Amino acid sequence: MINKYQPKRNFPDYKSSIIRSPREEPLMIKLTNSEITGPMFKKEILNNSDNDLTINFSKNSEKPLGQEIFVHGFVKDENGNGLKDILIEIWQANAGGKYRHRNDTNEVSLDKNFGGCGRFITSLDGYYIFKTIEPGAYPYPNRGIEWRPKHIHFSIFGSMFLQRLVTQMYFEGDPLIKFCPMVNSIPDVNARKLLIGKLDLSKTENEKILGYRFDIILRGKDQSYFKNKIEGL
């Protein structure tokens, strides 16, 4: 992939990249048949509520706290064609900015009705949709204490485990985006914009649920940025 999409491996403004960034070139490892032929993801693995994070962890039909939103879009190839049967998994913080993870030290309380993860398999035209809660920003130790903008993590699987891409969606209009060292590690400003979900009023429902559109382009000049595989699928 062209360099403008590739963040610097060692980006001092993002402190942990100094420790975690690779120092050597990657080694090529021979792949096994199981790694390059499967698995094939079918809709039968999903439950009806897997893509609705407002109910898939709730207790006694209680709703989690926060603004309900739809996040939807298409997974496309470099020619704009939708890709079917793509497994998308998401995970996120709750409305207060806390993950359901034992290492999250944010003092905000967990929401007993929000697990923070979901999954969906794209339709024939590559469409996906999630209903969830708008995540909160949260502080983290970097250059002193900084705040991560609101975001949702995306994992996109192709037809085998090795075809997995990971990215994040940020929210249009969030003033914290321009201060985020993770975002700013991507050299090209236009490439950063591909990580931002756009407010979609056509998906707003009954004055209660806001909609955001986030298309994922796997290859080509308009490719989304994937932090684990710069060149895409």
Domain that holds residue 102: 3-19+51-217
Answer whether residue 151 is part of any domain.
yes
Answer whether residue 222 is part of any domain.
no
Answer whether residue 37 is part of any domain.
no
pLDDT at position 164? 84
Answer whether residue 124 is part of any domain.
yes
What Å distances lie between residue 49 and 54, 58, 152, CA to CA?
9, 11, 18
Residue 77 sits in a domain of what CATH number? 2.60.130.10
For 146, phi and psi rounded to 5 degrees? -120, 170
Task: Locate 158 and state its tokens.
Answer: 């192709």
Answer whether residue 94 is part of any domain.
yes
Active site residue 143: no
Q: Exactly one of 14, 153, 170, 225 is catalytic; which is it? A: 153
Q: Exactly one of 72, 119, 128, 148 is catalytic; which is it? A: 148
pLDDT at position 2? 44
Active site residue 170: no
Q: How many domains does the chain have?
A: 1
Active site residue 138: yes
Answer whether residue 225 is part of any domain.
no
Spell out the per-residue pLDDT of the chain, length 233, in tens.
Answer: 445 666 777 787 877 777 778 888 878 888 888 777 766 777 888 999 999 999 999 988 899 999 999 999 999 988 899 999 999 999 999 999 999 999 998 899 999 999 999 999 999 999 999 999 999 999 988 777 789 999 999 999 887 767 888 999 999 999 999 999 989 988 888 889 999 999 999 999 878 999 999 999 987 766 776 765 655 65
Answer whether residue 34 is part of any domain.
no
Answer whether residue 74 is part of any domain.
yes
